[in-house]
């Protein structure tokens, strides 16, 4: 082996490492000084830390600031709004060790999915909300008062709710879709996606099977599981996805998939061929809800935030940006007044009328033993 060869290669590697450090350090130093200023200010001001889902709030523009900024200006509370929940279970696993050990989370408000919220409430890992400081909570839609995941209504307030249904690309399917059966049409073999979110996928299939997801049991879900398993064996199902079904819909890998209403409404702005339908057998109504993890340090600020977003005017801005179903009364009327948003006020996917409400079912609570069985069975099919 020529001894000088690796040496010189090493030398260039060594140099490159320093150059790399140089290139990358400059912006990071700049950013650090910026962050330093922020945290100094934060130490003096009142604070609030929120973890939520991405693209779930009005981002605002320079001339027209978003909700977070307007709230900060109004109250003087410094808000850290993190969009770091991508998956309900991954999020639960992230916070679980600290909460189980009785430690405080950095967040004052988290926005888990309803059934994760129920789990947190059952485990006594959340604080009751300071509802006396949230007068606007009275604006909560009656249909969401004291829901199955929080029977006392003391621990949670919905952030947004939505509908699980079917999204499809009309160009790829060549026809309108109407029912869950369409997902099993051999013509779409290998072009169909289901959600890794067990309650949405199985709930939709249970409805098609004539079962009631509001009162789920392992036996009543058996037909749904079997159908899913068979479809996977047949090669009908291309993938089980989280929110990334959007990537596959846009790239043309999915012709149709189980999807969430607001996502598709947002996506269809960039891909007009995308449609969303609540299947004939019915859709699943889900909710993401605000809860305060045990020992959240900034209770007053959290209450102020919840009161702010339950003001119908503020709620209308958020709803107009995210296209989901607002849990706040009076939002439709506000949107209807503005010609730019009037069409939304008539959209049954954002403001379900009585006929639509009848077609939607909330997936009911599962006992811990049943949940384990559901999860294990579902994992065996999705190949987790």
Nearer to another protein, 110 or 140 (CB): 110
- Tokens 């693209």 identify what position? 55
Both tokens of residue 259?
């999807």
Report the nearest approach of another protein to the CB of residue 38 (Å): 11
Smallest separation (angstroms) from another protein to the CB of 105: 8
Query: Which residue of 142, 210, 339, 383 would you call a contact of another protein, by CB under 8 A?
Result: 383
Which of 42, 239, 336, 356 touches another protein by CB under 8 A? 239
Report the candidate in 134, 135, 136, 154 with the shortest Cα–Cα distance to residue 145: 154
Minimum CB distance to another protein, residue 330 (Å): 29
Quick check: 294 binds another protein (CB under 8 A)?
no
Compute how many residues bind another protein; rule: CB under 8 A.
Answer: 79
Residue from 41, 59, 100, 143 that binds another protein (CB under 8 A)?
Answer: 100
* Binding residues among 337-366 for another protein as defined by CB under 8 A: none
Q: Is 273 in the site for another protein (CB under 8 A)?
A: no
Q: Which of residues 128-147 bind another protein (CB under 8 A)?
A: none
**Site for another protein contains 384 (CB under 8 A):** yes
Rounded-to-integer distance, Cα 172 and Cα 24, Å? 44
Contacting another protein within 40-99 (CB under 8 A): 54-55, 83-84, 86-87, 89-90, 93-94, 96-98
Is the CB of 36 or the CB of 190 nearer to another protein? 190
Q: Does 2 bind another protein (CB under 8 A)?
A: yes
What's the token pair of residue 218?
């392992």
Stretch that binds another protein, among 245-253, 320-328, 336-344, 348-356 (CB under 8 A): 245-253
Nearest distance from C-beta of residue 238 to another protein, angstroms: 5
Is residue 110 a contact point for another protein (CB under 8 A)? Answer: no
Nearer to another protein, 23 or 354 (CB): 23
Q: Among residues 189, 275, 299, 329, which is the contact residue for another protein, using CB under 8 A?
A: 189
The yes or no reply on residue 367 touching another protein (CB under 8 A) is no
User: Is residue 1 involved in binding another protein (CB under 8 A)?
Assistant: yes
- Apex 97 CA angle, 289 and 92, nearest 5: 30
Tell me: does residue 154 bind another protein (CB under 8 A): no
- The least distance separating another protein from the CB of residue 143, rounded to whole angstroms, comes to 28
Q: Tokens representing 263?
A: 């996502």
Convert residues 156-175 into a mask of x (bound to another protein by CB under 8 A) and - (unbound). Answer: --------------------
What minimum distance in Å lies between the beta carbon of 280 and another protein?
Answer: 26
From the list 75, 113, 246, 361, which residue makes contact with another protein (rule: CB under 8 A)?
246
Kindly tell me the sign of the dihedral angle through the C-alpha atoms of 309, 311, 312, 313: negative
Supply the minimum distance, in Å, between the C-beta of residue 263 and another protein: 9
330 binds another protein (CB under 8 A): no
3-state secondary structure the chain: CCCHHHHHHHHHHHHHHHHHHHHHHHHHHHHHHHHHHHHHHHHHCEEEEEECCCCCCCCECCCCECHHHHHHHHHCEEEEEECCCCCHHHHHHHHHHHHHCCCCCCCCEECCEHHHHHHHHHCCCEECCCHHHCHHHHHECHHHCCCCCCCCCCCCEEEEEEEEEEEEEHHHHCCCCCCHHHHHCHHHCCCEEEECCHHHHHHHHHHHCCCCCCCCCCCCCHHHHHHHHHHHHCCCEEEEECCCHHHHHHHCCCCEEEEEHHHHHHHCCCCCCEEEECCCCCEEEEEEEEEEECCCCCHHHHHHHHHHHCCHHHHHHHHHHHCCECCECCHHHHHHHCCCCHHHHCCCCCCCCHHHHHHEECCCCCCHHHHHHHHHHHHHHHCC
Which part of the chain contacts another protein (CB under 8 A), choosing from 3-11, 130-138, 213-221, 321-329?
Answer: 3-11
41 vs 380 by CB, closer to another protein: 380
Q: Which stretch binds another protein (CB under 8 A): 156-164, 234-242, 321-329, 341-349?
A: 234-242
The residues, any chain, with a CB within 8 Å of residue 187's CB and separated by 6 or more, are: none
Shortest Cβ 74–another protein spacing (Å): 22
């Amino acid at each position: 082996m020529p001894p000088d060869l690796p040496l010189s290669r090493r030398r260039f590697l060594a140099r490159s490492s320093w150059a790399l450090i140089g290139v990358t350090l400059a912006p990071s130093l700049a950013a650090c000084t910026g962050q330093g200023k922020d945290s100094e200010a934060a130490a003096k001001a009142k604070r609030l830390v929120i973890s939520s889902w991405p693209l779930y709030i009005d981002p605002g523009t320079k001339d027209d600031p978003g909700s977070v900024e307007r709230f900060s200006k109004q109250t003087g509370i410094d808000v850290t709004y993190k969009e770091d929940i991508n998956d309900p279970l991954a999020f639960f696993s992230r916070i679980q060790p600290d909460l189980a050990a009785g430690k405080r989370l950095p967040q004052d408000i988290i926005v888990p999915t309803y059934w994760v919220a129920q789990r947190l409430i059952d485990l006594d890992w959340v604080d009751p909300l300071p509802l006396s400081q949230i007068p606007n909570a009275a604006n909560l839609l009656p249909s969401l008062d004291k829901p199955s995941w929080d029977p006392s209504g003391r621990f949670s307030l919905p952030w947004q709710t939505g509908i699980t249904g079917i999204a499809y690309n009309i160009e790829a399917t060549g026809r309108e879709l109407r029912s869950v059966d369409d997902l099993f049409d051999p013509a779409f073999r290998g072009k169909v996606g289901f959600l890794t979110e067990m309650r949405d996928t199985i709930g939709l299939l249970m409805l098609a099977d004539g079962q009631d997801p509001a009162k789920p049991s392992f036996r009543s879900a058996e037909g749904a599981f079997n159908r899913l398993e068979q479809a996977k064996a047949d090669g009908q199902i291309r993938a089980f996805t989280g929110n990334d079904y959007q990537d596959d819909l846009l790239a043309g890998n999915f012709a149709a998939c189980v999807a969430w209403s607001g996502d598709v409404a947002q996506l269809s702005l960039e891909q007009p061929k995308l449609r969303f339908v609540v299947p004939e057998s019915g859709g699943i109504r889900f909710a993401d809800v605000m809860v305060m993890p045990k020992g959240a340090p900034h209770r007053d600020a959290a209450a102020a935030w919840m009161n702010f977003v339950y003001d119908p005017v503020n709620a209308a801005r958020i709803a107009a940006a995210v296209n989901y179903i607002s849990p706040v009364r009076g939002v439709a009327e506000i949107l209807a007044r503005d010609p730019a948003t009037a069409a939304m006020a008539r959209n049954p996917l954002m403001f379900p009328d009585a006929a639509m409400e009848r077609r939607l079912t909330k997936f009911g609570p599962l006992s811990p033993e049943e949940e384990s069985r559901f999860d294990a069975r579902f994992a065996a099919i999705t190949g987790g």
